[in-house]
């Protein structure tokens, strides 16, 4: 049973250690929250694509984001459908139309998706809904995860109470025929699904000869990249390829992440948040350890006089840093889980803890404490055994 000097040093003053652990823990919690927000944004940004059923996406070269996506000729979809390896091609039309809040009468821009009720562009069960409801005229399905400002009957969330209510979309009367649950992403606060026919009636300029997205499914045994290349070659011949982007699923997701996290300041803000939390945490650890080493300088000098090596002393400081890291990480991750849950409830943002993130933050914590430990170690060399007598 070896004497664990580092652990005993940490435990010697529980009150001081608790304070240190609280400080470091808050820094770790901040890192968790920043990463959580960032993760929530990633999820939200790509959520809609995750629900659409496609291997290759055709969309306009003018595409900016889901609500400002431009249009392509339906013709391009027909050409793609004829290519070898293509199993089916479907479409999705996206528009933004003014929705009148049935409670207050104010209007809000709502994302409206037009589909053929017989041929759902969504993955099975992704938008767990029977689209037969849309076969009636002037009806829509409303997203339960729409913001309350769109006027749900109970003031918080669209529910069964809202089915059958009448409102206006694009200035024309519509009836809420049902609900779905999707989450419209970062650009829109609310979403609805209509049949293509109804969309054309409510939103001018939604003719089915021009669509927002072409959703290509490929036959088994073909590679999406190859098929995409083939479609690109075919469209080049018909001179429409310059206005059409042909993208595989991973590229679509990546481009969406790049746009929200790279081109907008959002990603930067959270990365900066993580960095600041890291630096603050490291500063706290450095202060705690530096103080501890300074207070125990004569003890370290004694170790040196006894014949303990510099390595032993350095490792003792690093081990103290490691214990601080672990002791701080545990309460921080518990609190983070609680706050993720709370944020999910309060802000309608899905924040999920996963092992990758937990592991990453643990590594960051160890890194934070390690760096500070090494810096604090420099004070060790001041331990002068000749001063002991």
Partner 1 sequence: MINEDIDIDQLIAAWAPQPHELSVNVDGVNHSYGEGDLRKQVLFNNRLKIRRGEIVIMTGPSGSGKTTLLTLIGTLRSVQEGSLKVLGTELKGINARATTDLRKRTGFIFQAHNLFESLSAFQNVGMSTELMGMKHTHAKPKIEATLQRLGLGQRIHYKPKSLSGGQKQRVAIARGIIHQPDLILADEPTAALDAGSGREVVTIFQEMAREHGCTILIVTHDNRILDVADRIVNMVDGSIHSNVLVQWNSAMCQILNDFPVFRGLTPSAISQVADMMELKRYSPGAQIIRQGAIGDEFFVIGKGVVDVIVDGETVNTLVDGAFFGEVSLIKEQPRNATVIAKSDVSCFVLSKDEFQAVVESNSTFEEELRKAIFMRQ
Interface residue list for partner 1 (CB under 8 A): 1-3, 5, 8-9, 11-12, 296, 298-299, 301-309, 385-386, 388-389
For residue 96, the cross-strand partners are 111
For residue 90, the cross-strand partners are 215
Could you give the dihedral angle defined by the CA atoms of residues 53, 56, 62 and 63, in that order, rounded to the nearest 10 degrees?
40
Number of CB atoms found within 10 A of residue 3's CB: 7
Comparison of 9 and 248: residue with beta carbon closer to partner 1? 9
The distance of closest approach from Cβ of residue 321 to partner 1 in the complex, given in angstroms and rounded to an integer, is: 16
Comparison of 4 and 223: residue with beta carbon closer to partner 1? 4
Closest CA to 380 of 309, 324, 306: 309
CB 195 within 8 A of CB 134: yes
Comparison of 200 and 299: residue with beta carbon closer to partner 1? 299
Buried b / exposed e along 83-111 (16+ C-beta atoms within 10 A): bebbeebbbbbbbebebbbbeeeebbebb
- Tokens of residue 16, six digits: 């001081």
The distance of closest approach from Cβ of residue 16 to partner 1 in the complex, given in angstroms and rounded to an integer, is: 12
Q: What is the C-alpha radius of gyration for the chain, rounded to an integer number of angstroms? A: 29
Comparison of 346 and 389: residue with beta carbon closer to partner 1? 389
The distance of closest approach from Cβ of residue 249 to partner 1 in the complex, given in angstroms and rounded to an integer, is: 58
Comparison of 197 and 297: residue with beta carbon closer to partner 1? 297
CA dist., res. 274 & res. 29, Å (int): 10
The length of the chain, given as a count of residues: 389
Helices (H) and strands (E) in the chain, counts: 10, 11
Comparison of 308 and 360: residue with beta carbon closer to partner 1? 308
The distance of closest approach from Cβ of residue 383 to partner 1 in the complex, given in angstroms and rounded to an integer, is: 11
CA dist., res. 244 & res. 60, Å (int): 5
The distance of closest approach from Cβ of residue 17 to partner 1 in the complex, given in angstroms and rounded to an integer, is: 11
CA dist., res. 251 & res. 253, Å (int): 5
Comparison of 207 and 382: residue with beta carbon closer to partner 1? 382
The distance of closest approach from Cβ of residue 388 to partner 1 in the complex, given in angstroms and rounded to an integer, is: 5
CA dist., res. 309 & res. 377, Å (int): 13
The distance of closest approach from Cβ of residue 288 to partner 1 in the complex, given in angstroms and rounded to an integer, is: 15
The distance of closest approach from Cβ of residue 319 to partner 1 in the complex, given in angstroms and rounded to an integer, is: 13
CA dist., res. 262 & res. 329, Å (int): 29
Comparison of 5 and 231: residue with beta carbon closer to partner 1? 5
């Amino acid at each position: 049973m070896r004497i664990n000097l580092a652990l005993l040093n940490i435990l010697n003053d529980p009150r001081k250690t608790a304070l240190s652990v609280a400080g470091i823990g808050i820094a770790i919690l901040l890192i968790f929250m920043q990463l959580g927000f960032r993760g929530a944004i990633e999820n939200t940004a790509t959520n809609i694509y995750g629900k659409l059923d496609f291997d290759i996406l055709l969309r306009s070269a003018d595409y900016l984001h889901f609500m400002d996506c431009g249009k392509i000729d339906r013709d391009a979809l027909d050409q793609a459908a004829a290519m070898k390896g293509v199993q089916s091609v479907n479409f999705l039309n996206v528009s933004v139309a003014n929705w009148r809040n049935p409670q207050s009468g104010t209007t809000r821009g709502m994302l409206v998706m037009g589909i053929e009720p017989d041929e759902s562009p969504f993955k099975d069960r992704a938008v767990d809904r029977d689209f037969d409801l849309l076969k009636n005229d002037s009806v829509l399905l409303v997203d339960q995860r729409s913001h309350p400002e769109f006027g749900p009957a109970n003031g918080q969330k669209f529910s069964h109470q809202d089915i059958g209510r009448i409102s206006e979309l694009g200035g024309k009367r519509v009836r809420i025929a049902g609900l779905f649950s999707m989450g419209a992403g970062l650009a829109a606060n609310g979403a609805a699904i209509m049949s293509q026919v109804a969309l054309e009636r409510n939103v001018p300029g939604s003719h089915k000869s021009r669509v927002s997205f072409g959703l290509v499914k490929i036959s088994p045994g073909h590679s999406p990249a190859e098929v995409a290349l083939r479609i690109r070659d075919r469209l080049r011949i018909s001179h429409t390829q310059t206005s059409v982007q042909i993208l595989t699923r991973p590229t679509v997701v990546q481009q969406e992440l790049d746009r929200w996290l790279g081109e907008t300041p959002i990603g930067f803000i959270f990365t900066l948040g993580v960095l600041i939390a890291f630096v603050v945490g490291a500063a706290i650890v450095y202060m705690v350890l530096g103080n501890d080493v300074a207070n125990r300088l004569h003890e370290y000098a004694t170790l040196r006089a006894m014949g303990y090596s510099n390595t032993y002393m350095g490792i003792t400081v690093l081990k103290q840093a490691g214990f601080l890291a672990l002791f701080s990480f545990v309460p921080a991750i518990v609190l983070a889980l609680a706050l993720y849950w709370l944020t999910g409830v309060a802000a309608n943002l899905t924040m999920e803890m996963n092992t990758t993130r937990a592991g990453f933050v643990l590594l960051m914590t160890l890194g934070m404490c390690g760096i500070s430990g090494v810096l604090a170690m420099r004070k060790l060399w001041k331990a002068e055994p000749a001063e002991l007598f």
